Amino acid sequence: MTHPQHTTVGIIGGGPAGLLLARLLHRSGIDCVVLESRDRSYVERRQRAGILEQGTVDVLRACGAGERMDREGLAHDGIELRWNRRAHRLDFPALTGGRRVRVYAQTEVVKDLIALQLADGPPLLFGAQARAVTGADTGRPAIRYHHQGREQTLTCDYVVGCDGFHGVAREAVPERVRRTYTRSYPYSWLGVLAEAPPSHDELIYAHSARGFALFSMRTPTVSRLYLQVPNGTDPADWPDDRIWDELEARGAIDGPWKPARGPLSAKAVLPMRSSVTEPMRYGRVLLAGDAAHIVPPTGAKGLNLAVADVTVLARALDRLHRTGSTELLDAYSDTCLRRVWRAEHFSAFMTTTLHTAPDQSPFDTRLQHSQLDRIADSPHAAAELAENYTGLPLI
């Protein structure tokens, strides 16, 4: 194949952030190239988040990637919180003025965006391993990458790193400039897929003395389930019956409820951490998604933050393309970081409120119960949670 030598925007990473940015730029008439280190099959199977905020849904629809999402995704008007054998439902539309979320797996979002990209979009190179970004502080940065057995160089007007925390784009920001704030959690999630119908028609977030549990779903016949486990847990130590018994115990309420059981697959342990890198722009290199920030999954913010980043960035590049103004581009990092830190705060709040720390005292547990009681009893506290969960305005 002929490798492109230059493009306006070089995008490193073919996950949802990179693919959506490419789609938005293509619709604005801005040429770009996407370099993805993995093959297409791997990218389309990569399991990640499945909760889409209202703003994310709106962006996917607007760029032509919403048809299957609207047909197969599951619209949700709330979640249920469980603690101390009590259950309380949050009605999102009533608390937020009509906003809701949609359950649609990241694997499916990626499949939809790849199909659009290959049908009529700019170049998408699978198996293209980015080695380094050079010239970030010049007018002509470049991406050095390996593809089909050869070293290649792609010069760009701008480089966008959608290649995760360990990607080369983040390393292009000099250490003297880069500030990274991190937080680690003393527990992980054991995530599984179950060939079983969902145990409830909406997501259940369950706090218990035994640890946290989340009851989610992928389709009306496939459930996605999570258990809080110690860091370093081996999934092989958790046979199916043990997982189901623990889910049932942690989700227990005063009333006739049991999870719908079925065969489990795709067991994996997911570490929990928070991280923010500032600034999100250095010269002509810009960071988006996990390259700039990571959130624990409790708040369902990872994919949605990435969508917000590239939506802001696409508008800034469109303004530059149409008018020559760099105003929005110059404000990109500050604009995104305001939303990022709000999402980090919400995700940390959900995580520390619902999980049970290994050394947790009875005092700490009573504080958690008090917070959950307030959410159930106060419309203002419930609205604060609902507004953050369904998503703040993209801009």
Using H for helix, E for strand and C for coil, what is the string for 319-379?
HHHHHCCCHHHHCHHHHHHHHHHHHHHHHHHHHHHHCCCCCCCHHHHHHHHHHHHHHHHCH
The mean pLDDT of 198-225, rounded to a whole number, is 94
SS3 101: strand
pLDDT confidence of residue 25: 97
Residues acting as catalytic residues = 76, 205, 297, 301, 389
The answer to which of 42-56, 81-95, 283-297, 337-351 has the lowest mean pLDDT is: 42-56
pLDDT confidence of residue 46: 77
In whole angstroms, how far apart are CA 143 and each of 14, 134, 168, 176, 273?
15, 7, 9, 21, 29
Fold category of 6-76+101-182+273-350 in CATH: FAD/NAD(P)-binding domain (3.50.50)
pLDDT confidence of residue 236: 95
Q: Are 182 and 271 in contact (CB under 8 A)?
A: no
Query: Rounded to 5 degrees, what are φ and ψ at 174?
Result: -60, 145
Q: What does the pLDDT look like over 335-349, one tens digit per residue?
A: 999 999 999 999 999
Q: What does the pLDDT look like over 284-312, one tens digit per residue?
A: 999 999 999 999 999 999 999 999 999 99
Query: Rounded to 5 degrees, what are φ and ψ at 315?
Result: -65, -40
The mean pLDDT of 78-105, rounded to a whole number, is 96
The mean pLDDT of 316-333, rounded to a whole number, is 98
> Residue 31 belongs to what H/E stretch?
none
Number of Cβ within a 10 Å radius of residue 249: 14
**Nearest-angstrom CA–CA distance, 332 and 312:** 7
pLDDT confidence of residue 218: 87
> Residue 233 belongs to what H/E stretch?
none
pLDDT at 395 over 70: no
Domains in the chain: boundaries: 6-76+101-182+273-350, 185-272+356-390
Global confidence as pTM: 0.94
Q: What does the pLDDT look like over 349-392, one tens digit per residue?
A: 999 999 999 999 999 999 999 999 999 999 999 999 999 999 98
Q: Please report, rounded to a whole number, the percentage of residues in the chain having pLDDT higher than 70.
A: 99
Amino acid 21 reads L
pLDDT confidence of residue 1: 64
Interstrand relation of 78-83 and 32-36 (parallel, antiparallel or unpaired):
unpaired
Average pLDDT score over the chain: 95
Q: Please report, rounded to a whole number, the percentage of residues in the chain having pLDDT higher than 90.
A: 93
Structure tokens at 278: 């500032």
Fold category of 185-272+356-390 in CATH: D-Amino Acid Oxidase; Chain A, domain 2 (3.30.9)
Identical topology for domains 6-76+101-182+273-350 and 185-272+356-390: no
> Residue 145 belongs to what H/E stretch?
strand 142-147
The mean pLDDT of 276-281, rounded to a whole number, is 98
